[in-house]
Structure formats: structure tokens, C-alpha cells
Chains A and B, each alone.
Chain A
Amino acid sequence: MSILLFLIPAALLLGLLGLAAFMWSLRSGQYDDLEGAAERILFDDEDEPEEDGKN
């Protein structure tokens, strides 16, 4: 059962990574305009939403 000592922290770490990614995407304004995001995928050029702090 000692394998659990590696597996549980590994599972949690992966989960936390996912959570951190979600928090980052939320902070960088990716949830502010869901309709627009659906359309922007058609554009070729790169663009990024506005950061929270600059609002």
C-alpha cells in the first residue's frame, strides 16, 4: 500500500494544477465574453483579452 504515498499526492497535484489553470483563465478575462470567444476562434491573428487589473 506504500504506493499510495506517491499516488495520492500525485492525484492531488494534478487536480490542483487544473484548478490553478481555471483560476488563471478566469483572472485573465477568458470568461468575460463567452459569445465573443466562440466567434474569435475563426480569426487567424492572435489576440488576448484584457487583464483584470487594467479595467
Chain B
Amino acid sequence: MTELAAGIRERAGIDPDIFVRETPEGEARLDLVVEGMHCAGCLRKVEGALKSLPGVEYARANLSTKRVAVRWQPTKLRADAIIRALADTGFTAVPFDPKLLGTFDENEGRFLLRSLGVAGFASANIMLISVSVWSGLVTDMDETTRSLFHWVSALIALPTVAYAGQPFFRSALKAIRGGRMNMDVPIALAVILATTMSLVQTIVNAHHVYFDASVTLLFFLLIGRYLDVQARAKACSAAENLLGLRATAATLIAPDGSHRSVPVEHLEPGMKVLVASGARIPADGEVTSGVSEIDTSLVTGESMPATVKRGDDVFAGTLNLGAPLTVTVTKRDDDSLLAEIVRLMESAEQGRARYVRIADRAARFYSPAVHLMAAATLILWFSLGAHWETALTNAIAVLIITCPCALGLAVPVVQVVATGRLIRQGVLVKAADGLERLAQVDTIVFDKTGTLTLGEPRLVNGDEIPADALALGAALASSSRHPLSLALADYARSLPAQGAAPAFTDITEVPGMGMEAQLDGRLIRLGNAGFTGAEANTAHGGSEIWLAQEGAAPVCFRFEDTPRPDAKKVIAALKERGFAIELLSGDREPAVRQLADDLGITTWHAAARPDAKIARLEELAKKGHKVAMVGDGLNDAPALRAAHVSLSPADAADASQTAADFIFQGVPLAPIVETVDVARKSRRLVFENFGLALIYNAIAVPLAVAGYVTPLIAAIAMSSSSIIVIVNSLRLNRRKKAQRDAQASAPRHATA
């Protein structure tokens, strides 16, 4: 899991103490995300390592969320010793603050589960009693016994409905207050009316009561609701783990010269921070000392690193590639460039039309129809001269039998199956309605750097370079951590061995320029054009460095940010499915054009700033297109919000991951195709489920209107329609054999 590793690197040297909390009993408590923990053995090793530390009172790992909670006596142990102990057993652990991560309401899931337990208990017992009554009706059960059974049912049903019905009542009330209609309105109404009517029937000692119907209805619907919440909670916690790993602390240089780590929020203008090599710059500021190169790709989309020196401005979120820098903070966290992007995101969010979920749209037609039908039944029986009680009973039977049960399950079951299938492919579904929105999309807009490409340079003209120059350049490059040097050294390592390494002396790195060294009395330089005395060539899309040997012409090494290995295939596959593809990048024109040509994308825009990206998306939306945005950079975050639906790779900037509806893990882009397919298939299944519910209603409603529906028939009809809908939804898990094979051969990506 490279994204985890990257997060850990970024947090290197950060003091875990700022994440330690004190419990009421005076113990210290730390929550950690542990990488690579996925079996009983790992669980045991992690807990064993922690429990063997002096002072540790409690350590428990959660295998589902990949998190560990530790409590210990703060006098006996320091927090960093805990992380070191885990590192020694081979697990990398990163502290996090559960309060900052806890965007998902865990209590909601707990309450649903409790309600589910109560409804399950009640429906089993009431059904038991009801079956006795139903058989008693055709045999010799006397009136007193039946009445007793009805009263016992009422005794169980009333508290159950009051308790387990709350999730539906609350949601229905909210919808009505907001002047909207959702699926919970007819559900709540059916449950309340059925219960009230049954209570009245029990009091007047009538034949038929519907306590079993109202309670089993709650039971079935709570199952659907709980599964839905569970699937979302899982995706959310995985996404939170990824986000929690990003640097949220900065190394502050105190006036007395000592270093300590503080949360980013505490930085004030004028403070000095140290930015280590390979770390992200925590706040907007001005370089006070040091010369280095800054990777701004996350902020601007520009793929070439920029050189900064004393007096230059740097932005929060950019990555320091070269030597350590001292930066004086000029803006607080909330006026930084990052905060500005967040503001852009918020305004984009307001611009996006509120999407109404399919189930709620169905409810808009369904609920009035059902209620009208019930009212019509009431009036019909009245006008035919029936007793008001009979008329009311039949009207309520219509409400019960129209079965919001199957309709209530139609969407969540599909959602759960789809989310589960995607999680196995390494795709996290963050937004509950994300799949529905994705199914409507006709245009997909990609960002370039880090999305279609890997976001790191590769040597592209290796074949044109003389072998001795390549070996010399690679040997010199291997003592630098600059990304281009790393790429060059990587390339050389992939070639057959070249004999002994040249014996350089006096190797020095000139920040922002390159490397120089002596070899057999000759000066060798590897660096930018100015440094090596060569003529820069900016016509191509990549970056270049030159190798200059005294007395020979400089040799050029060209680097490009290469596309993800399956980018071309994925673009072709998406085009085949009828999507219009666009490339929208903040990078320079040659680089964007070249990639667009390589991948066969005809519509592209280069040098697009965040607001220009939003403008383009709005233009597309105005033309009536539904746009999916795929992007990773901070500069994409507002666009991800503005798009109809958005996807983001797991190594994207935090802001982008927060904005995105889907997060896909791993290097290949293929999960995008899979996600789109699953979304479209889910939509089809949801409509099929509605169709099935409609057919069922077409048969059952006339029976109810005619007054033939007894509680027994209602119970049978309700369970059978629910089962049909569930079975139909499970078809989403079936996949074609070719797909299965493709997946089996693909490397498995851990799902965080």
C-alpha cells in the first residue's frame, strides 16, 4: 500500500505525543492506524508486542478497521516507544485523533442494530402467537383465548413500534417538515395506522389484527437500513484511515533554536518552521534559509519541480524535494492557498443542484398514489353502505399490502451488494448516492498529473544515450534524492550490470542546479541546462537534465511523467461504453497535448487553474451533460465538488479525497471502468426491483380493495415480495467468467 507508506514518510519525525489523550483514570490513550494487519497472526503479534511493553494496561486491535487502541501508565512509557515497538515487529503504525476522524456517526449503526434486535424478538414472538390465532380461526379456539392472544401481541407490539420505528418516524417527520416526500413517509404511516387499528380491533374483540404485519415490516426494513449504514461505515473508516495518515503537524523552530512538533492549526504568522527533505510544507510562507526544489503538482498540476531560495514564497501542501528549508509562516492556516481552495470548494458545492435519490423520487409518485388508493377504498366501501369499521379496515389493509417493504429494500440491498463488490476491487464508495449519480454520467473529465499519469518522472530517451554516459550519469545520480536523479538511477538499475562504478571524488550537490564531482581529474556535472552549459529545449512535454564532461558535448536525459500502465486501455474501454472523454490539466500545453495524443483523447485543456476547471465543468453542465470528474490534486478539489460525481485515487491530496464520491486504490485505472459498470448495473437492478414491486402491487392491491386481505395473506405477500427483491439484487454479485478470470490474475490490493 504505497499511499500508506507515503503518509508515514510524510509524518516521519512527528511527535506522537500530540495524539495522546488522558483517560479519566489517569491513563494515557493512543489510537493508531496499523498498516498491513490482516490475519490472526498479525493481530496476535501486534497485541503481543504492545502488551509486553512496561506500563501497558490494555491493547486491542480491530481487524475490520485496521486500528489499534492502547492504554498505558504515562509515567512508565512514552508514546514513541509504542510506535517503535510495533515497527520492530514489522508493522508501521501511525497515530491519529479519533475525534478528527470521526466524521461517521457510529451511534447511528448501534441504534439500528439495537432496534433490529428488538424488532426481531417482537416479530418472532408475535408471529408465533399469530400462527396460533390463524389456525384457531378455522378450528375451535374460543373467543376468550383469541382475545388473550391479541392482547399479548399488543403488549409486545406497542413498545416495539415505539422503539424500533424511531429511525423511520424521525426521517419521515424530517421529510414532511421540509415539504418533501421520501420512502419513510408511507412506511411510517403504514406502521402507525396498522398498529393503531389493531389496537382498536383488540379492544372491540374483532377477528383480525395486524400487529405481526407492522412489526415484521419494521424488522425487514431495519435489516435493509442496517446493511446500508454498515457498508457506508466500512467505506468511511477506510477512507478516514487514508486521510488520517497525512501530515497534520509541523516542526516548529522555537526562538531558542529547539525543535518541537505542533499541530498545523497552531501555526501563526511569523513562526519559523523546518521543512525536512521529502516533507510537505505545512503553511504558506517565505523561505528564510536553504535552497531546494518544490514539487507543486498537488497544488498547481505542474509536473516540473520549481526551485526556491531565500525570499521566495511557498504554499501549503507542496512537497520539499531537496535540502531542508526554514520557512517563516506568512499566513494562518485559514488564509492559506489551501483555505482558498477550500472556499472555492464550498461555493462549488452550493452551485451543484441537490440530487434527489431514486428511492425518494419513486416515493414522490408512490406515496400519494398509495394514500389516494386507501382513501378511495374508504369512500368506496362507505358509499356501498358498509359499516365504517369495515371500510376503515379495508383502507388500512391497502396501506399495509402496498408493501413499502419491497420498495424499502429495493435500493439498499442493491447498494449493499454493489458497495461490497467494489470494496473487494479496492474502490471505496463514500457518498451514499454516488452510484446513482455515476450511472447518469455521459462525460468523464480527467486530470493529468497523478491521475492519468503516475505523477513521477521516468527516463524516456534511454535508447539514444551512449551506454557509458548513461552509466556515468546514473552513478552520479545515485547519490542524490532529486526525483529526476532517482528516476535515472532506477532506469540504470533495470539494465544489465555495467561493471565497476566510477570512482568519483568530491561529490557535491548544488541545490536547484545539479550535482558535480571529480573523476580522474575531470569535472563531471549533472544538472539543468544552465549548470552544464547546454542549450535548454522546452518544446517537449517533460523535464530534462544534462550530463557534461569536460571536453565532451553535454548529453541530454529526457524525462516524462509516464501514463498509468492501463490508461490507454481504460480510456478506450470508456469510449466504447459511449462516454465523452476530456482532459483538463493545470500543466503546460506540450505535456498535456502529448499525453492526450498518446491516449487518444481529442478534447483537452492545458494550464487550467482551479477556477477555470470549474468554469469548464459548468459549461458542460449547461449543455446538459452529466460529468464525472477524476482528479487527485489539491487544484482539482473544487472541480471534484463541482462535478456531478467524482472519483479520486487513494494517493490524492486530502482535500480531493474528502471531495470525491469514490476513492480507488492501487496503480491501475481499471477500477474506474468497474465502478462505472457496477453503477449502471445497480441502476438497472433498482429499476427491476421497482418493477417487481409494481407487479406485486398490481395483484395485491385489488385484493385489498375488495377486502380479501386477512393478516395471514398480508404476512405471506410481504415476506415473499421482500425475498424476491433481495434475490434479484444479489444477481449483481454474479459476474461473467472472463471478468472473474481477469480479476483472479490481477494483483490483489488491500482495502486499507
Report whether B23 and A54 are in contact in the complex, using a CB–CB cutoff of 8 Å.
Answer: yes
A33, chain B: closest CB distance, angstroms: 4
CB-based nearest A residue for B42? A39
Q: Is the CB of B64 within 8 A of A33?
A: yes
Q: Is the CB of B40 within 8 A of A40?
A: yes
The CA-CA distance from A41 to B148 in the complex, in Å, is 46
Q: Which of B43, B58, B118, B156 contacts A12 (CB 8 A)?
A: B156
A35, B63: Cβ atoms under 8 Å?
Answer: yes
Contact A36 B114 (CB under 8 A): no
Instruction: Report if B128 contacts A (CB, 8 A).
Output: yes
Q: Which of A27-55 contact B (CB under 8 A)?
A: 31-36, 39-40, 42-43, 47, 49-50, 54
Interface residues of B in 138-188 (CB under 8 A from A): 142, 145, 148, 152, 156
Is the Cβ of B60 less than 8 Å from the Cβ of A50? yes
Knowing A15-B125, A40-B43, A42-B40 are in contact, say whether A26-B113 is a contact too (CB < 8 A). Answer: yes
Q: How far is the CA of A9 from the CA of B121 in the complex (A)?
A: 14
Contact between B39 and A36, CB atoms less than 8 A apart:
no
Which chain B residues border A39 with CB–CB below 8 Å? 39-40, 43, 63
Q: Give the distance in Å from the alpha carbon of A12 to the alpha carbon of B124 in the complex.
A: 10
A41 to B686, CA, bound (A): 39
Contacts of B58 in A (CB 8 A): 50
Which of A1-28 touch B at CB < 8 Å?
1, 4, 8, 11-12, 15-16, 18-19, 22-23, 26
Chain B stretch 109-143: residues in CB contact (< 8 A) with chain A: 110, 113-114, 117-118, 121, 124-125, 128-129, 142
CA A4 to CA B139, docked complex, whole Å? 17
Q: CB-CB < 8 A to A4: which residues of B?
A: 145, 148
- Complex partner residue of B43 from A18, A19, A36, CB under 8 angstroms: A36
Minimum CB–CB distance from B91 to chain A (whole Å) comes to: 15
**Which residue in chain A gives the minimum CB-CB distance to B69?**
A50
Contact of B63 among A16, A18, A36, A42 (CB under 8 A): A36
Interface residues in B9-64 by Cβ distance below 8 A to A read 23, 39-40, 43-44, 47, 58, 60-64
Are B62 and A36 neighbours in the complex by a CB distance under 8 Å? yes
Bound-state CA distance A40–B22 (Å) is 28
B65 at interface by CB-CB < 8 Å: yes
Q: Which residues of chain B have C-beta atoms less than 8 A from A18's C-beta?
A: 121
Given A39-B43, A43-B44, is A12 in contact with B125 using a C-beta cutoff of 8 Å? yes
Q: B120 CB to closest chain A CB, in angstroms?
A: 8
Given known A8-B152, A50-B58, A50-B69, contact A19–B64 (CB-CB < 8 A):
no
Closest residue of chain A to B113 (Cβ to Cβ) is A26
Complex: how many Å from CA A31 to CA B261? 37
> Please, how many angstroms separate the alpha-carbon atoms of A40 and B46 in the complex?
13
Cross-chain pair count, CB within 8 angstroms = 59
Name A17's closest neighbour in chain B (CB-CB): B121
Asked if A33 meets B62 with Cβ closer than 8 Å, knowing A4-B145, A23-B117, the reply is: yes
| A40 to B42 alpha-carbon distance, docked (Å) | 11
A9→B61 CA distance, assembly (Å):
42
Q: Please report the C-alpha to C-alpha distance between residue A32 and residue B302 in the assembled complex, in whole angstroms.
A: 44
Contact of A34 among B64, B69, B118, B129 (CB under 8 A): B64
Q: How far is the CA of A23 from the CA of B747 in the complex (A)?
A: 41
A26-B145 in contact given A36-B62, A39-B63 (Cβ < 8 Å): no
Distance of A35 Cα from B39 Cα, bound (Å):
9
Measured in the bound complex, the distance between the Cα atoms of B118 and A47 in whole Å is 28
A26 to B58, CA, bound (A): 20
**Of the candidates A11, A43, A50, A54, which one forms a contact with B128 in the assembled complex, judged by CB atoms under 8 Å apart?**
A11
Return chain B residues, CB-CB under 8 Å to A34.
64
* Residue ID in chain A nearest B62 by CB atoms: A33
Tell me how far the C-beta of B548 lies from the nearest C-beta in chain A, rounded to whole angstroms: 58
On whether the beta carbons of A36 and B117 are closer than 8 Å, the reply is no
Q: Report Cα–Cα, A30/B424, bound state, in Å.
A: 24
B39 touches A26 (CB 8 A): no
Which residues of chain A come closer than 8 Å to B43, judged between CB atoms? 36, 39-40
A21 to chain B: closest residue by CB: B117
Q: Is the CB of B124 within 8 A of A31?
A: no
Known contacts: A12-B125, A40-B40. The answer to whether A33 contacts B69 by CB under 8 A is: no
B residues less than 8 Å from A19 (CB atoms): 117-118, 121
Q: Nearest Cβ distance between residue A38 and chain B, in whole angstroms?
A: 8
> How far apart are the CA atoms of A32 and B63 in the complex, in Å?
10
Chain B residue nearest to A53 (CB atoms) is B24
Q: Contact check, B62 vs A32: say whether CB atoms are below 8 A apart.
A: yes
CB distance from A4 to the nearest CB of B (A): 7
Q: Which residues of B contact A15 (CB under 8 A)?
A: 121, 124-125
A22 touches B40 (CB 8 A): no
A33 and B121 within 8 A (CB): no
A42 to B63, CA, bound (A): 14
Q: How far is the CA of A54 from the CA of B65 in the complex (A)?
A: 19
Distance to closest chain A CB from B423 (angstroms): 13
Beta-carbon contact of A33 and B65 below 8 Å: yes
Closest to B38 in A: A35
Residues of B within 8 A of A43 (CB): 40, 44
Residues of chain B within 8 A of A11, CB atoms compared: 125, 128
CA distance A18 to B118 in the complex (A): 10
Q: Is the CB of A22 within 8 A of B117?
A: yes
Alpha-carbon separation in the docked complex, A16 to B125 (Å): 10
Bound-state Cα–Cα, A16 to B44, Å: 36
Cα distance A34–B234 in the bound complex, in angstroms: 12
Closest 3 CB pairs of A and B: A36-B63, A39-B40, A19-B121
Interface residues of chain B, those whose CB is within 8 Å of chain A, are: 23, 39-40, 43-44, 47, 58, 60-65, 69, 110, 113-114, 117-118, 121, 124-125, 128-129, 142, 145, 148, 152, 156
A-B CB contact pairs (8 Å), 24 listed: A1-B145, A4-B145, A11-B125, A12-B152, A15-B124, A19-B117, A22-B117, A22-B121, A26-B110, A26-B117, A32-B64, A33-B62, A33-B64, A34-B64, A36-B43, A36-B62, A36-B63, A39-B43, A39-B63, A40-B40, A43-B40, A47-B47, A50-B58, A54-B23
A-B contact sample (19 more), CB < 8 A, given A11-B128, A15-B125, A33-B63: A1-B145, A4-B148, A8-B152, A11-B125, A18-B121, A19-B121, A23-B117, A26-B110, A26-B117, A32-B62, A33-B64, A35-B63, A36-B61, A39-B39, A40-B43, A43-B40, A47-B60, A49-B60, A54-B23
